[in-house]
Amino acid sequence: MLTDLIKYLCIMEKTRPNIRAVEVAEIERFIAKIEEKPFRVKQIVEWLWQKHAHSFDEMTNLSLDLRKKLVEHFTLPALSIDTTQMSSDGTLKTRFRTFDDHMIEGVLIPTTLRKTACVSSQIGCSLSCKFCATGYMERSRNLNFDEIYDQVVMIKQQVEKTYDQNLSNIVFMGMGEPLLNYKNVLKAIEKITSPEGLGMSARRITVSTAGVAKQIKQLGDDQVKFKLALSLHAANDKKRNEIMPINESNNIEALIEALNYFYKKTGNEITFEYILFKDFNDSEKDAMELVKIYRQVPADLVNVIEYNAIDRFPFDKPDEEGFETFVEILQKNRVNVRVRRSRGKDIDAACGQLANKDN
| CATH code (residue 128) | 3.20.20.70
pLDDT at position 308, please? 79
Residue 6 confidence (pLDDT) above 90:
no
Q: How confident is the model at residue 317 (pLDDT cuts 50, 70, 90)?
A: confident
Buried b (16+ CB within 10 A) or exposed e, 173-187: bbbbbbbbbbebbbb
**Which of 28, 49, 73 is where one domain is finished?**
73
Greater model confidence, 348 or 100:
100
Q: Tell me if 55 is assigned to some domain.
A: yes
pLDDT at position 239, please? 98
Mean pLDDT of the chain: 91
pLDDT at position 10, please? 44
Q: Are 250 and 104 part of one and the same domain?
A: yes
DSSP letter, residue 75 = B
**Which of 33, 55, 73 is where one domain is finished?**
73
Q: Tell me if 359 is assigned to some domain.
A: no
Kindly report, residue by residue over 27-75, the tens digit of the pLDDT.
Answer: 999 999 999 999 999 999 999 999 999 999 999 999 999 999 999 999 9
Q: Name the nearest CA neighbour of 174 among 212, 222, 229.
A: 229
Q: How confident is the model at residue 108 (pLDDT cuts 50, 70, 90)?
A: very high
The strand pairing partners of 18, in sequence order, are 75
Q: Are 210 and 267 part of one and the same domain?
A: yes
Q: How confident is the model at residue 197 (pLDDT cuts 50, 70, 90)?
A: very high
Contact 350, 309 (CB under 8 A): no
In this structure, what CATH number is given to the domain that contains residue 67?
A: 1.10.150.530
Contacts of 105 (CB under 8 A, 6+ apart): 93, 94, 95, 96, 120, 174, 175, 349, 354, 355, 356
Q: How confident is the model at residue 357 (pLDDT cuts 50, 70, 90)?
A: low
CA dihedral 80, 83, 87, 88 (to 10 degrees): 120
Q: Are 243 and 106 part of one and the same domain?
A: yes
Residue 355 has phi, psi (to 5 degrees) of: -155, 25
How far is the CA of 69 from the CAs of 27, 57, 75, 95, 273, in angstroms? Answer: 12, 11, 11, 32, 49
Q: Name the nearest CA neighbour of 95 among 120, 76, 77.
A: 120
Kindly report, residue by residue over 149-173, the tens digit of the pLDDT.
Answer: 999 999 999 999 999 999 999 999 9
- Please list the active-site residues: 105, 351
Contact 53, 71 (CB under 8 A): no
Helix (H, G, I), strand (E, B) or coil at 110: strand
Count Cβ atoms within 10 A of the Cβ of residue 229 and give its class: 0-12 exposed, 13-18 middle, 19 or more buried: buried
d(Cα 277, Cα 125) in Å, to the nearest integer? 22
The strand pairing partners of 75, in sequence order, are 18
Contact 343, 349 (CB under 8 A): yes
Mean of the pLDDT values across residues 337-355? 61
d(Cα 20, Cα 18) in Å, to the nearest integer? 5
d(Cα 315, Cα 317) in Å, to the nearest integer? 7
Q: Tell me if 353 is assigned to some domain.
A: no
d(Cα 118, Cα 109) in Å, to the nearest integer? 7
Q: What's the total number of domains in the chain?
A: 2
Q: Tell me if 127 is assigned to some domain.
A: yes
User: Count of residues for the chain?
Assistant: 359
pLDDT at position 14, please? 60
Mean of the pLDDT values across residues 209-217? 98
pLDDT at position 7, please? 39
d(Cα 151, Cα 87) in Å, to the nearest integer? 19
Kindly report, residue by residue over 218-229, the tens digit of the pLDDT.
Answer: 999 999 999 999
Mean of the pLDDT values across residues 264-274? 97
Which of 82-86, 237-241, 258-262, 351-355 is predicted with the least confidence, judged by mean pLDDT? 351-355
DSSP letter, residue 91 = -
d(Cα 125, Cα 331) in Å, to the nearest integer? 34
Kindly report, residue by residue over 16-33, the tens digit of the pLDDT.
Answer: 999 999 999 999 999 999
Amino acid 159 reads: V
pLDDT at position 228, please? 98
How far is the CA of 297 from the CAs of 62, 202, 252, 253, 335, in angstroms? Answer: 53, 22, 11, 11, 12
pLDDT at position 260, please? 98
Q: Tell me if 354 is assigned to some domain.
A: no
Residue 38 has phi, psi (to 5 degrees) of: -60, -30
Amino acid 201 reads: S
Q: Tell me if 285 is assigned to some domain.
A: yes
Q: Are 45 and 60 part of one and the same domain?
A: yes
Mean of the pLDDT values across residues 243-269? 97
pLDDT at position 193, please? 98
Q: Are 56 and 186 part of one and the same domain?
A: no
pLDDT at position 316, please? 87
Q: Are 113 and 35 part of one and the same domain?
A: no
**Which of 73, 92, 124 is where one domain is finished?**
73
Q: Tell me if 193 is assigned to some domain.
A: yes
- Domain membership of residue 93 as a residue range: 80-347
Greater model confidence, 286 or 10:
286
d(Cα 258, Cα 275) in Å, to the nearest integer? 22
Contact 260, 231 (CB under 8 A): no
DSSP letter, residue 178 = G
Q: Are 149 and 119 part of one and the same domain?
A: yes
Residue 330 confidence (pLDDT) above 80:
yes
